[in-house]
Chains A and B, each alone.
Chain A
Amino acid sequence: MRHGKYRFVASFLAVPLVLYVFYVLWPYAQAFWIALTSWNGFAPPEYTGFSNFSRMFHDRLFIKAVEHNLFLLLTLPLITVAIALFLSFMLNVGGRSHSGIRSGVWGSKFYRVVFFFPQVLAVAIIGVLFQQILRPDTSGAVNGPLHALGLGPIGFLTNPTVAMWTVLGVLVWQAVGFYVVLFSAGMVSIPQDIYEAAELDGANRISMFFRVTLPLLFDTVQVAWVYLGIAAFDAFALVQVLTVEQGGPDGATTVLANQIYRENFINSRAGYASAIGVALFFLTLTFAALTIRLTRRERIEF
């Protein structure tokens, strides 16, 4: 039996472990080594120490990419969580109370289903979709009505100062529904009598939200914040598909992931691309460590 157990364990672990080590762990390990070389993908790699990393500080596009990732890191969680909290509060607690039982607003199930839908769509599809919707002339779905209102056409993707906000807007558009569902699940588990007690004490909707819902939902909000922070370090597919020149105009929307892709697959600088990958890894790690540190607090049991 004992002998049989070890053979069984080995037979179940062998294939997944081999696939995982070969395709995932080994490339990750290699990346740290390639980052220290001037490899171009063809000639044998040459060790160049940390020169790839010092090069970053003079790379205009790299610096822009870091700025854009940090911009997303600050704005994406804040805006998405704010909108999602508001909408889910309206869905779940916003309704009238019938003899003490608070119900969601009319049609709340429908809204939840609709809000969540963009989450199911591929980012690449959303990218092409919004490319058309945000067309700069009056044939665009947004610029057409804007023109009718007498407002000039906005170069959502062509104006360098607007383009990054457009990327943010589309990311928020896709993300909100997911967090509405997540927060709704959290709100449903808050006991009804807490709301009743608050109501008896004369709390209105606004103070109920800030004094009851938000504190009891803190753990879920924290999870959402970490998820959106990690998403802020990605944004690859959307920038690649949606923006002009895959990160333009003139680098106005590029992010680190797109720089990795560009340096390796277009400029054939495998060494430098890997170095950017290492930088991205440490940025993500720093963010995760900081979030866990800063948001540590007592858990409210209910």
Chain B
Amino acid sequence: MTTTHTDDVSASAPSARQPRSHAAAAGAERRRQVNLLAGLGHIALVIWALLVLLPLVWTFLAAFKTNAEIFGDAWTLPSHWSFAAFGRAWSKAHISTYMFNSVIIVVFSTFGTMLFGSMAAYVLARYRFWGNRFVYYLFVAGLAFPVFLAIVPLFFQVKNLGIVPVIGPYIGLGSRFGLILVYIAYSLPFTVFFLAAFFKTLPNSIAEAAIVDGASHTRLYFRVMLPMARSGIVSITIFNILGQWNQFLLPVALIQGQDADKRWVLTQGIANISTQAGYEADWPALFAALTLSILPMIVVYAIFQRQIQAGLTAGALK
């Protein structure tokens, strides 16, 4: 570098001792360098975007191919566009069943997580009572343990629940409701931790006004505090929906036993389907199944991408 005054701003007022042409040449050189760097940077961005998109496009295309085409050249287009594989994936490979199970489980478990998690977070954040700190740290401690440490005892605990009279079949191994309870329990530490911090930031004045107006504690919570905490609730709801929808370890460990495959969730079904496709030599159905499980995520993501990005990064920025 011959000079330190080479950018756009100082180029218009070159130092008196320097010949004008020199400064202009250096400025042009600097601009070229910047353009080159920006160009290289942009190429890197395009490459990464392709790295993300091409595997997905390739999978979608393979759903339309025949077995022979799938085992032929990797990057040829399907010879004709038939949706038959999607039908087979939906019914024969049971994607419809798995999708239904996933939806049912995530709807109830996320609702339960948000209801119980926000209730616990609210009283821990805004009420002073004996043992408050202890209960709070009990919940937060759950963040420090890897789930894998609990999975063996948890499996046997849920298994033992299965022999409880009357309600056993509904909460034991292989039951959807049992899995919902487990999802709620394991989502509580983060939900309580995050929402407690959020409830603490809410102003006191409105709560006091509501009390003066004769609102009960429960009414104050559901009618006043919960609506005020909406942005935090939305973030954590999205966080929990995605986390529970994508959960793999818990369903694989807990939805097993006789006829359990009728209650499998989508991740379990997809993981199993590649083995199944091998037996039945129906590879287009495998790709169709993958496509069917990815497309809804693209649609949801396209609509809610701002909220989803905010929800998932909320935890990291705390």
A residues bordering B, Cβ < 8 Å? 4-6, 8-9, 12-13, 15-17, 19-28, 30-31, 34, 41, 83, 86-87, 89-91, 94-97, 100, 105-107, 110-125, 127-133, 137-141, 143-145, 173, 176-178, 181-182, 185, 199-202, 204-206, 220, 223-224, 227, 233-234, 236-237, 240-241, 256-257, 260-261, 264-265, 270, 273-274, 277-278, 280-281, 284-285, 288
A23's nearest neighbour on chain B, judged by CB, is B185
Partner of B188, one of A24, A224, A236, A240: A24
Select B135's contact among A17, A117, A201, A264, beta carbons within 8 Å: A17
- Contact residues in A for B6 (Cβ distance below 8 Å): 202
Residues in B neighbouring A115, C-beta threshold 8 A: 48-49, 52
A205-B189 contact, Cβ under 8 Å, with A17-B120, A227-B316, A260-B148: no
CA–CA, A211 and B16, complex, Å: 30
Whether B84 is near chain A, meaning CB under 8 Å from some CB there, is no
Q: Does B54 contact A (CB under 8 A)?
A: yes
Chain-A contact segment, one of B86-94, B202-210, B228-236, B262-270: B262-270
Of B17-25, B150-158, B162-170, the one touching chain A: B150-158
Task: Give the docked Cα–Cα distance between A118 and B294 (Å).
Answer: 10
The distance in angstroms between the C-alpha atoms of A12 and B123, with both chains bound, is 7
Give Cα A122 to B123, complex, Å: 34
Cβ B55 vs Cβ A128 within 8 A? no
Q: Contact: A117 with B129, CB < 8 Å? A: no
Report A-chain residues with C-beta under 8 Å of the C-beta of B52. 114-115, 117-118, 173, 177
Chain A min CB distance to B78 (Å): 14
9 contacts between A and B (CB under 8 A): A8-B127, A13-B119, A15-B116, A24-B142, A27-B154, A89-B41, A105-B42, A124-B248, A127-B271
State the main secondary structure of chain B at its contact with A.
helix
Q: Is B28's beta carbon under 8 Å from chain A?
A: no
Q: Kindly list chain A residues whose C-beta atoms are within 8 Å of the C-beta of B271.
A: 124, 127-128, 240-241
Residues 213-263 of B at the A interface (beta carbon under 8 Å): 216-218, 221, 242, 245-246, 248-249, 252-253
Answer whether residue B274 sits at the interface, using C-beta atoms and an 8 A cutoff.
yes
For A204, what are the chain B residues with a Cβ–Cβ distance below 8 Å?
30, 33-34, 37
How many pairs of residues, A versus B, come closer than 8 Å at their CB atoms? 294
* Beta-carbon contact of B301 and A117 below 8 Å: yes
B212 at the interface (CB under 8 A from A): no
Give the residue among B30, B150, B267 with the most A Cβ atoms within 10 A. B150
Residues of A within 8 A of B153 (CB): 26-28, 30-31, 34, 274
Q: A19-B185, A128-B270, A132-B287 are in contact. Are A117 and B298 (CB under 8 A)?
A: yes
Chain A's nearest CB lies how many Å from the CB of B122? 7
Q: Does B139 contact A (CB under 8 A)?
A: yes
A178 near B312 with CB under 8 A, answer yes
Check A280/B149 contact, CB under 8 A, given A12-B120, A23-B186, A124-B268. yes
B83 at the interface (CB under 8 A from A): no
Give chain B nearest CB distance to A221 CB in angstroms: 11
| 8 A Cβ contacts from B111-164 to A | 116-117, 119-120, 122-124, 127, 129, 135, 138-139, 141-142, 144-146, 148-157
Q: Is the CB of A265 within 8 A of B181?
A: no
Is B192 in contact with chain A by the CB < 8 A criterion? yes
Is A25 a contact of B142 with CB atoms below 8 Å?
A: yes
**Interface membership of B77, Cβ < 8 A:** no
Using CB atoms, name the residue of chain B closest to A113: B305
* A94 pairs with B41, CB closer than 8 A: yes
A240→B188 CA distance, assembly (Å): 26
If A5-B127, A23-B181, A234-B146 touch, whether A128 touches B73 (CB-CB below 8 Å) is no
- Nearest B residue to A170 via CB reads B55
In the assembled complex, the Cα of A278 lies from the Cα of B274 at a distance in Å of 33
Are B120's CB and A4's CB within 8 A? Answer: no
From A125, A141, A241, B294 is in contact (CB under 8 Å) with A125
Docked complex Cα distance between A285 and B157 (Å): 26
Question: Which 9 pairs across A and B sit closest by C-beta, in order of nearness?
Answer: A144-B74, A23-B185, A90-B41, A122-B246, A30-B153, A27-B153, A124-B267, A237-B248, A16-B116
In B60-75, which residues have CB < 8 Å from any A CB?
62, 70-75
User: Which one of B30, B44, B185 contacts A22 once the chains associate, using CB atoms below 8 Å?
Assistant: B185
Q: Verify if B182 is at the interface (C-beta below 8 Å from A).
A: yes
Instruction: Return the contact of A285 from the options B70, B144, B185 (Cβ within 8 A).
Output: B144
Q: Judge whether B290 and A128 touch: CB under 8 Å.
A: yes
**Do B148 and A236 touch across chains, with their CB atoms under 8 A apart?**
yes
A-facing residues in B172-187 (Cβ within 8 Å): 181-182, 184-186
Q: Which of the listed residues B144, B146, B294, B308 has the most CB atoms from chain A within 10 Å of its own CB?
A: B146
